Amino acid sequence: MTGVVLLNTLRRNWRQAIYWGISIGILGYYVIVLVPNMDTLKQYEDLVAKMPPLMLKAFGLSDAAQMATPAGFLGFGFFSYMLLVLATYAVLAGLSITSSEEDRGILDVLLSLPIPRWRIIIERLIAYTLILIVMLVITFAGLWIGAATTPGLNLDLGRLLAATVNMLPATLLVLAFTALAGAVARTRTLAIGVATVFVVASYFIDFLGAAASGTFFDSLRVISFYSWYNGGQIMFTGLEAGRVLLLLAVALICALGSLWFFQRRDIV
Amino acid sequence: MENVIHTDKLTKIYSGTTRALDGLSLDVQRGEIFGYLGPNGAGKTTTIRLLLDLIRPTEGRAALLGLDAQRDSVAIKQRVGYLPGELSLWDNQTAQQIIHFVGQARGGYDKTYVQTLADRLQFDLTKKMRAYSTGNKRKLGLIIALMNKPDLLILDEPSSGLDPLMQQTFYQLMQETRAAGHTVFLSSHILSEVQAICDRVGILRGGKLQAVERVDALTRTDFRHVILRFRQTVPESLVATVPGVSGVTSENNGKTLKLQLLGDFDPLLRSLDGFYVEDMEVQEPSLEEVFLKYYGAQSAVNNHQKAEATQ
């Protein structure tokens, strides 16, 4: 029956999604309620002002004054780092698509049922995409409640929504990349290693490249999904279709790659 | 008779050199229980994984239910029940949830029949996977394999982990499956199990099929153990030179002779002329002895002598 793997994946993971969503949402709420606290913003501005310009760039801030705005504070203090949290979830979810279950022998039972291999990957990718959307909806709810209940806060809710939505393409890319790693590598350990290196290396390439413009690291930023995510500036720029489409396209290529490899190889 | 499983020179080579399965050509017919015997590493599980398209052959091909194992894999699995050697499923799901998922994947299932199977196997469907013992996981695996009354059952070491009472229930279920015209292909290294329920047996060694025989023919056509009890003392030399006789030992002050006989009884009986035979006991060799003979690890005769010596 079509959709049976999708429903099974949702049934097994919806609680997790709620817990992750609530945790990130609460964090978002607290970051928002901190914004009008001018003492906090001032302290951040002072701190950032003492940073060398290279460090400012590395954190995705063009100048210290940007930091003193609610949008700059949210970009730096929440959206820049929250992608790492979501990427962690995406790696775990990506491993669950084939790798973890292959390691535990669950795939043997699953593939003894009349379900084509490609459907396992597609339905699980859809299920985890839905789960990520639920997590982001809860996250936005936390941010929105924070914004709605904090007096005197001048925050563009449209931009806040755009910044939340902006986390989805990059997270989907990590999800699909990990699924690809799991489909190619026949051991879970190797898949974890490859996915972790992908996320961490992307972060550092972007960080170092942003700090040292015109250097080798700067030229490498093109291969870092983190640089295309642009979390530090998202509250100022809004969603950029080019970046979003590029991330989604690479995610799609990874998903298709995982289908291709998984369809052809032995289950160990 | 229709072949439910047909393999033609099926071969699996790992890492370019390790021949896990070497040119397997095998036919399993509809309505039989086929035992697939061999020690660990013989290639039993590799064969099953090839049949289920979990791994792909290096050479050769396999067909199940008249369909190609690779090309028609999904259609085949609609009609096949499978129990892996070690059942692993989602720990946070109850048996009921897992059975529902499996049933839905197969396009529906009969809840009453599932409950009947659970009752017969004395299995509680309400617990989560993590709470089940190895034996109970085995029972769940059997329910999953049997619940859709498949045309072909493929079972990897099915009764390991089941207590003796449940093993009997398992044997009954297999016999009912055969009576319903379905086919069972089971791998095992438990010879008594194969002897108890299988019609035919294939013996696998080092990835190669050594023999396929009917279980009864396998035990009948080989040697027999003979115990002769006499009223008077009889020298071993009386029978030692008889054609087909080997391993003669004397007990009870020479009044009991134990021997192995290969072939007809007539030469042996003629050699006893003039001696009063109180009793003659004939034992067919166990499948284990036959098995060992095929493997050449030790002669069946020596094995029997060792077993006797330990009693």
Residue A92 contacts residue A199 (beta carbons within 8 Å): no
Answer yes or no: do A106 and B93 touch at CB < 8 A: no
Residue A29 has pLDDT above 80, yes or no: yes
Answer yes or no: do B106 and A114 touch at CB < 8 A: yes
Residue B310 has pLDDT above 60, yes or no: no
Mean pLDDT of B12-27: 91
- Tokens 């720029």: give the residue: A237
The span from the CA of B69 to the CA of A199, in Å, is 39
Residue B192 has pLDDT above 80, yes or no: no
The span from the CA of A205 to the CA of A214, in Å, is 13
Range from A11-20, A57-66, A165-174 carrying the lowest mean pLDDT: A57-66
Mean pLDDT of B25-30: 95
Task: Identify the helix (H) or strand (E) that includes residue B197.
Answer: helix B191-197
The span from the CA of B55 to the CA of B47, in Å, is 9
Q: What is the pLDDT of residue B283?
A: 84
Nearest residue on chain B to A11, alpha-carbon basis? B93
- At B170-185, the pLDDT tens digits run 999 999 999 999 999 9
Q: Which residues in chain A (249-268) have CB-CB distances under 8 A to chain B?
A: 264, 266-268
- At A48-72, the pLDDT tens digits run 777 776 666 666 666 666 666 778 8
Substitution target from A9, A109, A263 for chain B, most B beta carbons within 10 A: A109
Q: What percent of chain B has pLDDT over 90?
A: 67
How many CB atoms within 10 Å of residue A163?
A: 27
| Residue among B66, B27, B20 at smallest CA distance from B42 | B20
For residue B136, what pLDDT band results from cuts at 50, 70 and 90? very high
The span from the CA of B33 to the CA of A196, in Å, is 49
Mean pLDDT of B145-169: 91
Answer yes or no: do B78 and A115 touch at CB < 8 A: no
Virtual CA dihedral for A234, A239, A241, A244, nearest 10 degrees? 60
Answer yes or no: do A12 and B90 touch at CB < 8 A: yes
Answer yes or no: do A105 and B104 touch at CB < 8 A: no
- At B57-66, the pLDDT tens digits run 999 999 999 9
The span from the CA of A214 to the CA of B189, in Å, is 67
Cβ of A109 under 8 Å from any chain B Cβ? yes
Range from A114-123, A146-155, A161-170, B249-258 carrying the lowest mean pLDDT: A146-155
Q: What is the pLDDT of residue B302?
A: 47
Nearest residue on chain B to A115, alpha-carbon basis? B74
Q: What percent of chain B has pLDDT over 70?
A: 90
Answer yes or no: do A109 and B49 touch at CB < 8 A: no
Q: Are strands B67-68 and B18-29 parallel, antiparallel or unpaired?
A: unpaired
Residue B94 contacts residue B126 (beta carbons within 8 Å): yes
Q: What is the pLDDT of residue A64?
A: 62
Helix A157-165 × helix A117-149 angle, to 10°: 160
Cβ of A114 under 8 Å from any chain B Cβ? yes
Q: What is the pLDDT of residue B264?
A: 87
Question: At residue B153, what is the residue type?
Answer: L
Output the CA–CA distances (angstroms, integers) from residue A119 to A127, B142, B146, in the order listed: 12, 25, 24
Q: What is the pLDDT of residue B213?
A: 87
The span from the CA of A67 to the CA of A187, in Å, is 44
The span from the CA of B145 to the CA of B126, in Å, is 18
Tokens representing residue A74 in the block: 């949210």
- At A245-268, the pLDDT tens digits run 999 999 999 999 999 999 999 998
The better pLDDT of the pair A151, A223 is held by A223
Q: What is the pTM of this model?
A: 0.83
A-to-B residue pairs, Cβ atoms closer than 8 angstroms: 65
Q: What is the pLDDT of residue B299?
A: 42
Q: What is the DSSP letter of A36?
A: T
The span from the CA of A136 to the CA of A22, in Å, is 10
Spell out which residues of chain A touch residue B144, defining contact as CB-CB under 8 Å. 109
Range from A115-124, B230-239, B290-299 carrying the lowest mean pLDDT: B290-299
Substitution target from A112, A120, A186, A188 for chain B, most B beta carbons within 10 A: A112
Substitution target from B45, B71, B74 for chain A, most A beta carbons within 10 A: B74
Spell out which residues of chain A touch residue B87, defining contact as CB-CB under 8 Å. 105, 109
Mean pLDDT of B271-292: 83
The better pLDDT of the pair B216, B273 is held by B273
Cβ of A113 under 8 Å from any chain B Cβ? yes
Q: What is the pLDDT of residue B147?
A: 96
Triad A43, A47, A48: Cα angle to 5°: 120
Mean pLDDT of A127-145: 95
Q: Are strands B183-188 and B33-37 parallel, antiparallel or unpaired?
A: parallel
Distance in Å, alpha carbon of B141 to nearest chain A alpha carbon: 9
Residue B163 has pLDDT above 70, yes or no: yes
| Residue among A182, A168, A167, A169 at smallest CA distance from A120 | A182
Sign of CA dihedral B186, B188, B192, B194: positive
- At B278-287, the pLDDT tens digits run 999 998 776 6
Mean pLDDT of A133-141: 94
Tokens representing residue B291 in the block: 């098995």
Q: What is the pLDDT of residue B311?
A: 45
Residue B98 has pLDDT above 50, yes or no: yes
* Interface residues from chain B to A (CB-CB < 8 Å): 49, 52-56, 73-75, 77-78, 80, 82, 84, 86-90, 92-93, 97, 101-102, 104-107, 144
Answer yes or no: do B90 and A112 touch at CB < 8 A: no
Substitution target from B21, B50, B54 for chain A, most A beta carbons within 10 A: B54
- At B208-256, the pLDDT tens digits run 998 898 887 776 656 789 999 999 999 998 899 999 898 899 999 999 9
For residue A107, what pLDDT band results from cuts at 50, 70 and 90? very high
| Residue among B152, B52, B109, B73 at smallest CA distance from A1 | B109
Cβ of A116 under 8 Å from any chain B Cβ? yes
Answer yes or no: do B54 and A104 touch at CB < 8 A: no
Q: What is the pLDDT of residue B132?
A: 94
